[in-house]
Structure 1
């Protein structure tokens, strides 16, 4: 008897992963690969889309032939801000432009001459900056600078939907991909922004469906439910939204730490100077207010400096546990000691000063300053909404000093950590399943752990 499974391709910028989950969403198979980037026509590095497509088909066809598993469903989660432009035969017309590629200044100026003012535009579309990271502007750029290619575009597909298209041949759009700072969506109108219609770009954007949509089809002689794909950040949020009854903010930590508020009453930030408040969308089109901090990146840089200064090995920081006395010493004559490399903060000094004699003291100082920034980030996501629960997942969820400090600063909220190493892949599997999740799900699948703030001495 073959085991029934759901297959998920989880495509990150670096690692491309493939998972099989059983009916209880337990991982029973995993494999991954990474490809060297290729260059686009301007010499900018980008995803090797042909290699990715070939790998998807090869892996899936191999799994279908195996005696062990019966694949009932497949879905796709990928990074966002990426479009694949296909012709009438379904072939990509351009490289998969990297969201780090700069947009020409004259294109941005031209765009705002037509559709400004900039501040109003950013507020309405929930975007933070204007670059290729706002993937909708890529279509404007192609239309203005590569008209011969633009004329051949039959459909422009967000990356998760392109992967689904590889298997179904059916072009579609869905909310989570449209909603991730693409500059396409007007959050006030809950529709594409007027510029999309004025430029006629809506004609090459396929029909919008709910992210929970799946297509039942015969694939190579197998009856399979094929999902429409999901943006990875929204996928990582989904198991929480589905299993928790009370309002919460999720702090998903890693290179970027992103605080997600899926219960916002005020999705649109009116502070256009704040590049780090952005919007996402839930699978049903409801807005998610998010605030980001380049936390993991800064942590890596600053820890390396501490390691070099104190002459310790690269893994030393992993074993530092929270020490109450060390922390209270720091607070006595608290001063900001770190000049950030990738973060902006009005409190930071012109130069980093290490004022502690021990590595542990210096590490507590660093974490206190980083957590103060993390708190501001969370407060921006919470806004005026009443939220009493925080969940932390990702790389910092098992950092004892970080968690104790976050718990301390948010002592009015209940803080839990989860070990969501499968985050976006599991979310993609859940989004096409009919299974109802309950509050035990996070305990069973995500090693849910509650944290109590430390007691402040008299």
Structure 2
């Protein structure tokens, strides 16, 4: 008997992956691809949309031929802030513009002047002002810079919904994409923002469809359920929402360290927005209050500086054990270590530290993590609310013993866990439509946890 599975396309900026996941949420097949970027009409690098489209069709065709698997459903998660503009025949009208593309200042000023100012729009849409990363601004730009192309746009689909459209043929809009720093969604009114209607853009989004729904589709003679697609950050949160009812915050660590609180529905304040807070939207349509810092990047830059100064290989630091006596020593050496951070800082204090202060590379590295933790705690407290009893840390810093011990000591009233879910984004994307393809309930043991207890000592930071 063929094993029932769901096919999940997990499309990142660098790696494009296809997983087959069985009813027990074990990954039973995996393949990945990388494409050479192309350029748009301005010579800016962008995703090769044709390569992506071909890859989806080709890889799906291949797995449907595998006799040992019965593909019951298909779903998609991709990076956000990217639109595909389709004509009435479903053909792309433009390149898939890069969300890092510089936004014209004049057009930006005209937009905010027309619709009430940056602060008003930002507060109502829970989106910091991010230029092209506010994907709604990409649509506004297309309408005003290239009206002749805009007129031909039948559908403007975020990338997850475009991939779903390739298989289902149905154009839909999904809240996890529309609600994430796009400036399209009014969080207070729970509908598209009034500027979207005023610009006559709403009709181009397709039918608003719940993120946990699926469409009956026939693909190459096989009857499958096709999900509507999810924004990857929202998908990665789903395994935690499925496994834990007690309020928690997930700190997702990588280049950015993003603190996600699905249990805080308080509207963002102007002050929070200025400190890089925003709202994501989880797949059930609730706001997820989030804050972020560039700490993973900072860590890599400063680790290299320490390694060069002490003539050590950078990889050796990844396995350093936590040394509590060194933290106490640093508290005496650097008085500010004993004080709580008073103001928000976009980077840690470490870049300005003189490395000659430290006797060893190990001592310098402990101070680096100490400084990053102070920054992390400030960022975390921006979205923390009463009732949160657990912090889960996934990604790179979850494997860093020094980081985890210092984090636990910084918030002794909250349980701190390093957590890991193998391929959390893909697993979450499958869980979103579990009932459509799986006769079993979602398993409750898919997240591996390691508890870190606070170290009792007098140092307060």
**1:100 aligned counterpart, secondary structure:** coil
Indicate whether 1:358 and 2:355 are aligned.
no
Indicate whether 1:205 and 2:205 are aligned.
yes
**2:296 aligned counterpart, secondary structure:** helix
1:56 and 1:212 map into 2 onto residues whose CA distance is 21
- Once the 2 structures are TM-superposed, how far is the Cα of residue 336 of structure 1 from its aligned partner? 6.4
Question: Which whole-Å deviations, capped at 9, do the CAs of 1:66-106 have from their partners, x for residues lacking one?
Answer: 11111111100100001101000000101111110011011
Q: Is the 8 A contact 2:9 2:75 kept in 1?
A: yes
Paired position in structure 2 for 1:340: none
- Once the 2 structures are TM-superposed, how far is the Cα of residue 350 of structure 1 from its aligned partner? 8.0
Cα 1:400/1:437, change in 2 over 3 Å: farther
Q: Is the 8 A contact 2:349 2:371 kept in 1?
A: no
Q: Is the 8 A contact 1:126 1:278 kept in 2?
A: yes
2:129 and 2:166 map into 1 onto residues whose CA distance is 31
- Once the 2 structures are TM-superposed, how far is the Cα of residue 351 of structure 1 from its aligned partner? 3.4
2:416 and 2:14 map into 1 onto residues whose CA distance is 31
1:277 and 1:128 map into 2 onto residues whose CA distance is 7
Indicate whether 1:423 and 2:430 are aligned.
no
Q: Is the 8 A contact 1:125 1:184 kept in 2?
A: yes
- Once the 2 structures are TM-superposed, how far is the Cα of residue 374 of structure 1 from its aligned partner? 0.7
Q: Is the 8 A contact 1:129 1:275 kept in 2?
A: no
- Once the 2 structures are TM-superposed, how far is the Cα of residue 445 of structure 1 from its aligned partner? 2.1
Paired position in structure 2 for 1:225: 225
- Once the 2 structures are TM-superposed, how far is the Cα of residue 449 of structure 1 from its aligned partner? 1.9
Q: Is the 8 A contact 2:9 2:76 kept in 1?
A: yes
- Once the 2 structures are TM-superposed, how far is the Cα of residue 335 of structure 1 from its aligned partner? 5.1
Cα 1:33/1:71, change in 2 over 3 Å: same
1:218 and 1:273 map into 2 onto residues whose CA distance is 45
- Once the 2 structures are TM-superposed, how far is the Cα of residue 266 of structure 1 from its aligned partner? 0.4
Q: Is the 8 A contact 1:336 1:348 kept in 2?
A: no
1:244 and 1:349 map into 2 onto residues whose CA distance is 36
Question: CA-atom RMSD, angstroms?
Answer: 1.8
Paired position in structure 2 for 1:119: 119
**2:397 aligned counterpart, secondary structure:** coil
1:393 and 1:350 map into 2 onto residues whose CA distance is 25
Paired position in structure 2 for 1:138: 138
Q: Is the 8 A contact 1:82 1:159 kept in 2?
A: yes
Paired position in structure 2 for 1:368: 370
Question: Which whole-Å deviations, capped at 9, do the CAs of 1:27-66 have from their partners, x for residues lacking one?
Answer: 1111111111111011111101100110111011000011
Paired position in structure 1 for 2:383: 381
- Once the 2 structures are TM-superposed, how far is the Cα of residue 221 of structure 1 from its aligned partner? 1.0
The equivalences for 1:30-429 within 5 A come to: 30-271=30-271, 274-334=274-334, 344-345=345-346, 348=349, 351-354=352-355, 355-382=357-384, 384-429=385-430
2:415 and 2:78 map into 1 onto residues whose CA distance is 31
1:275 and 1:163 map into 2 onto residues whose CA distance is 34
2:335 and 2:387 map into 1 onto residues whose CA distance is 32
Q: Is the 8 A contact 1:242 1:437 kept in 2?
A: no
**1:6 aligned counterpart, secondary structure:** strand
**2:398 aligned counterpart, secondary structure:** coil
1:304 and 1:256 map into 2 onto residues whose CA distance is 18
1:346 and 1:85 map into 2 onto residues whose CA distance is 37
Q: Is the 8 A contact 2:4 2:22 kept in 1?
A: yes
- Once the 2 structures are TM-superposed, how far is the Cα of residue 352 of structure 1 from its aligned partner? 3.2
Q: Is the 8 A contact 1:187 1:268 kept in 2?
A: no
**2:383 aligned counterpart, secondary structure:** helix
**1:239 aligned counterpart, secondary structure:** helix
Cα 1:455/1:344, change in 2 over 3 Å: closer
Q: Is the 8 A contact 2:77 2:231 kept in 1?
A: yes
Q: Is the 8 A contact 1:8 1:75 kept in 2?
A: yes
Q: Which runs of 5+ in 2 are unaligned?
A: 338-343
2:335 and 2:47 map into 1 onto residues whose CA distance is 44
